[in-house]
Amino acid sequence: MRNAETVTFGGSGLERAAALRGDGAQQAAMLAHPTARVVPFWRGKPLVEGEGLGWVTPGHDVLRDAGVTVFLGLDEAGPRFATDISGWEPQDGNAADPAAFLDPTEQRHPALPITMRFVELRGVMVRLTPREAEIAAMARALFGWHGHHGFCAKCGQPSVVAMAGWQRTCAACGTHHFPRTDPVVIMLITRGNSVLMGRSPAWPEGMYSLLAGFIEPGETIEAAVRREVFEEAGVRVGAVRYLASQPWPFPASLMLGCQGDAVSEAITLDPAEIEDARWLSREEMVGVMAGLHPTIKPSRQGAIAHFLIANWLADRLE
């Protein structure tokens, strides 16, 4: 798919400079460089200003609550870092709402201008530049991993941050731990002029998307596509081809977008997996994507499902 990397979080060619991650002196020098900038994150939310990320200098007061700091790479404008300040507690009572499908709350830090606030990444991802989107996805996924891997999986002792935030090392047994990414297949399943759509009961009313599921150990991408579609909707799939991928840092997935040709049509739901599934014609999907369908809402703009459907409608899957 020729325009695959135009998907949100699709990458911008940031020089990640992995060779510098283990050099403490280099890290200190880059942090002290006058062009160095840091984007703070608070409980998974990036700092934003206007339509972009909110960058501060390494010595800014907002970083007094700093936890893990990660070296992101070398932007054309200078070294770029991200710092987790989740230890800060807002004093205005405007706490996050982690139970919400999309957390609408915004938090403002007293050390920052009123134009800067912490917001849910999914709410601003389509407004970020490709470079900012890549940086935000990278940092959010890394901070999520650090937050859940504070102890060694081998011996159970506490681990410490290493390699500029890209590794954790156990001081007791010496085991090195690295950030993980979970592969997920997401499927544009078509039959003639129709596409298979489904919805989870946890989603907002009326929202439908493409079927998706985690790849299991010892399984190919193609086999995962066929298994997931049959398990969730009872539809058999024949030929499968890869289209595009998307890092999805909620918390740490790599979405592998595929197209599959359905060889059966009857739908048999697994209610433990999805609430509903249905075939929608190309004409119906045009209305759904335009927000004109009376009962069905489109998948989230910025998600690879929305990207694949839009390109299918425009005949741009080659």
Q: Is the pTM of this model over 0.85?
A: yes
Query: Token pair 């066929």 is at which residue?
Result: 226
**pLDDT tens, residue by residue, 262-314:** 999 999 999 989 999 999 999 999 999 999 999 999 999 999 999 999 999 99
**In the chain, which residue ranges form alpha helices assigned H by DSSP?**
24-32, 121-124, 130-148, 221-233, 282-289, 304-313
**pLDDT tens, residue by residue, 214-224:** 999 999 999 99
pLDDT reported for residue 91: 84
Could you tell me the CA-to-CA distances from 263 to 56, 233, 240 in Å, in that order? 54, 13, 11
Q: Among positive and negative, which fits the CA dihedral 248, 249, 250, 253? A: positive
Calculate the CA 93 to chain-centre distance: 28
Tell me phi and psi for residue 207, to 5 degrees: -80, 130
**pLDDT tens, residue by residue, 72-85:** 999 999 999 999 99
pLDDT above 90 coverage of the chain, percent: 94
**pLDDT tens, residue by residue, 301-316:** 999 999 999 999 999 9
Q: Quick one: fold of 182-310?
A: Nucleoside Triphosphate Pyrophosphohydrolase (3.90.79)
Task: Give the span between the Cα atoms of 50 and 9, in whole angstroms.
Answer: 19
Tokens standing for residue 296: 């069905």
**pLDDT tens, residue by residue, 85-121:** 999 999 876 777 766 778 999 999 999 999 999 999 9
pLDDT at 137 over 70: yes
Task: Give the span between the Cα atoms of 55 and 238, in whole angstroms.
Answer: 48
Cite the residue boundaries of each domain of the chain with CATH code 3.90.79.10.
Answer: 182-310
**pLDDT tens, residue by residue, 5-14:** 999 999 899 9
